[in-house]
Amino acid sequence: MLNVAKKKIKTSDLYFAAFLKTAGFNLDDIVNSPDGRKMFFVYEDNNNMLLKTRTDYINGIAKVSAKDLIDNIRALKTLTTME
């Protein structure tokens, strides 16, 4: 079996993170920046699909359910405020 290193993508953009979750990517972790001022959402990029999805998101051609997106924004906000 081939052992391929999995690429991790992190973003501090809450809305992009919620979009990725809504698009079906699994949230691997939430980490603080070294200075503690920002939180980063960490996703695993399987088969470089996340990079293509990011390009589609930036170009405004990606589509997800609006209700699911709002639910994921709320869920991620809750996760970032938990202590």
pLDDT value of residue 2: 45
Phi, then psi, of 13 in degrees rounded to 5: -80, 105
Task: Give me the percent of the chain exceeding a pLDDT of 70.
Answer: 92
Q: Which residues pair with 41 in a beta bridge?
A: 11, 30
Q: Which residue has the higher pLDDT, 65 or 36?
A: 65
Summary mean pLDDT of the chain: 89
61 Cβ contact partners less than 8 Å away, ≥ 6 residues apart: none
pLDDT value of residue 5: 56
